[in-house]
């Protein structure tokens, strides 16, 4: 069933045409603070928490769902935070075309669609192509943070990340269920309340790497018509 689309008029919401006109996110934020990206922000629970903790960073929150984008904008406006902007755009398309080399201090991916059926797993965001693109976009020492409530995805993501020699693990094990001070969204809390673990992987890009811009393979839901929706 297609999404019910509503026009988003919030000044926090950035259509692609506005980003293209501005040239970069520094111009949109009005400063040169380091950038962090949350992929799949849901209704904005996580990004509001982490942006409040890190006023020295600018956060880009993205999602593919129109209603989630609208709710995130509302939540950000209520928070009064000025270091978050929202886009409805596919992550790989944004990273490849508008962010680029050494542009990000951190990437956060929280409870993405697990595509649980075997025939669907090629659609999962976290794969080697995405790691290559993330390493290109992350600054030296920049972090990739991934969590999921789905055991198979958590285990396979941890295995993939742990085998990627250009990353170093920030924990003592490939994944952990101990979230520590990691912000917990309402979605994540639902599983924790049921005693179902969250799989958290936190890795950091090693310094001094030479990484060429990877090609963008034709993927799933790369972009939408730019109608401000």
Q: What is the pLDDT of residue 2?
A: 56
Tokens of 172: 């003592």
Q: What is the pLDDT of residue 222?
A: 47
pLDDT in tens, 39-91: 999 999 999 999 999 999 999 999 999 999 999 999 999 999 999 999 999 99
Question: In percent, how much of the chain has pLDDT > 70?
Answer: 93
Contact 86, 43 (CB under 8 A): no
Q: What is the pLDDT of residue 227?
A: 42
pLDDT in tens, 81-138: 999 999 999 999 999 999 999 999 999 999 999 888 878 888 899 999 999 999 999 9
Q: What is the pLDDT of residue 220?
A: 43
> Mean pLDDT over residues 148-161, rounded?
96
Q: What is the pLDDT of residue 4?
A: 67
Q: What is the pLDDT of residue 116?
A: 82
- pLDDT at 152 exceeding the cut of 60: yes
Question: In percent, how much of the chain has pLDDT > 90?
Answer: 86
Residue 150: C-alpha distances to residues 1, 97, 113, 199 (Å): 24, 30, 9, 8
For residue 81, tell me if it sits in a domain. Answer: yes
Q: What is the pLDDT of residue 226?
A: 45
For residue 34, tell me if it sits in a domain. Answer: yes
Q: What is the pLDDT of residue 136?
A: 98
Which residues are known catalytic residues? 113
User: Residue 148: which domain range?
Assistant: 16-205
Dist CA 13 CA 2 (whole Å): 21
For residue 162, tell me if it sits in a domain. Answer: yes
- pLDDT at 224 exceeding the cut of 50: no
For residue 6, tell me if it sits in a domain. Answer: no
For residue 9, tell me if it sits in a domain. Answer: no
Q: What is the pLDDT of residue 225?
A: 44
**Residue 144 bridge partners (DSSP):** 107, 203
- pLDDT at 19 exceeding the cut of 60: yes
Q: In CATH, what number is assigned to the domain containing residue 58?
A: 3.40.50.150
For residue 92, tell me if it sits in a domain. Answer: yes
Domain count of the fold of the chain: 1
DSSP code at position 206: P
Task: Kindly tell me the burial class for residue 87, based on how many C-beta atoms sit within 10 Å of its own C-beta (0-12, 13-18, 19 or more).
Answer: buried
């Amino acid at each position: 069933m297609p999404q019910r689309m509503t026009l988003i008029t919030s000044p926090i919401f950035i259509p692609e045409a506005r980003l293209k006109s501005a040239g970069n996110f520094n111009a949109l934020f009005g400063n040169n603070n380091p950038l962090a990206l949350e992929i799949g922000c849901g209704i904005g629970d996580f990004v509001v928490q982490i942006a409040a903790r890190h006023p020295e960073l600018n956060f880009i929150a993205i999602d593919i769902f129109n209603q989630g984008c609208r709710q995130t904008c509302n939540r950000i406006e209520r928070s009064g935070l000025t270091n978050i902007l929202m886009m409805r755009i596919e992550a790989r398309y944004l990273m490849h075309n508008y962010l680029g080399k050494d542009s990000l201090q951190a990437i956060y991916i929280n409870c993405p669609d697990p595509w649980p059926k075997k025939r669907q797993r090629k659609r999962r965001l976290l794969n080697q192509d995405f790691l290559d693109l993330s390493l290109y976009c992350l600054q030296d020492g920049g972090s990739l943070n991934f969590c999921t409530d789905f055991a198979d995805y958590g285990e396979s993501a941890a295995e993939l990340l742990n085998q990627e020699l250009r990353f170093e693990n920030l924990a003592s094990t490939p994944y952990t269920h101990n979230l520590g001070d990691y912000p917990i969204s309402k979605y994540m809390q639902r599983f924790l309340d049921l005693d179902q673990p969250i799989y958290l992987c936190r890795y950091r890009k090693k310094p001094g790497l030479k990484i060429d811009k990877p090609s963008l393979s034709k993927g799933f839901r790369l972009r939408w018509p730019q109608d401000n929706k």
